[in-house]
Amino acid sequence: MPEPVERPLADELLTIETSDAPDRVLTIAAKGELDLSTAGRLQDSLNSSISEGLDVVVDLTRVSFIDSSGIAALIRVFRSLNGGGKMSVLIAPGSQVARVFELANINDVLPIFTDHAEAVGGLSAPAG
């Protein structure tokens, strides 16, 4: 009989940390895998913060893997803003996330940055 394979729980595949919100800007940092099993948790966290009137920087610099479910969750939250809060996305240059975003032209849909200060500054930039 084969040995059982231990699989991490979905909660262990992605951790989400939030920073304090000076000037009503909150950084939500994800670490791990952003896929079908974890994207809902990030989306819920983002929706909750935005509903509190906070602008959000989504820090994906420690995300090792993203699939279409993770991308869709980010786009759903961004499109739901409707003039409410603002959101920008921070990625690590050269990462799997950056490569996927480039291939899928995500920078045409979401405000993407590779520097945290620029991502925060992008929140105050006019839409367009």
d(CA 52, CA 24): 10
In contact, 93 and 114? CB cutoff 8 Å:
yes
The DSSP code for 108 is G
Question: What per-residue confidence (pLDDT) applies to 54?
Answer: 86
Residue 52: the pLDDT is 83
pLDDT for the residue numbered 10: 52
Which residues lie closer than 8 Å to 116 by C-beta, 6 or more apart? 27, 57, 59, 90
- Give me the pLDDT at residue 81, please: 87
Please give the pLDDT value at position 68.
Answer: 96
pLDDT of residue 5: 44
What's the confidence (pLDDT) of residue 11?
55
Place of tokens 């966290």: 45
Per-residue confidence (pLDDT) for residue 83, from 0 to 100? 64
What is the reported pTM?
A: 0.86
Report the pLDDT value the prediction gives residue 7, as an integer from 0 to 100.
Answer: 45
pLDDT in tens, the chain (128 residues): 445 544 445 557 899 999 877 788 999 999 999 999 999 999 999 998 888 888 999 999 999 999 999 999 999 999 998 766 799 999 999 999 999 999 999 999 999 999 999 999 999 866 55
CB atoms within 10 A of CB 36: 14
Domains of the chain: 22-120 (3.30.750.24)
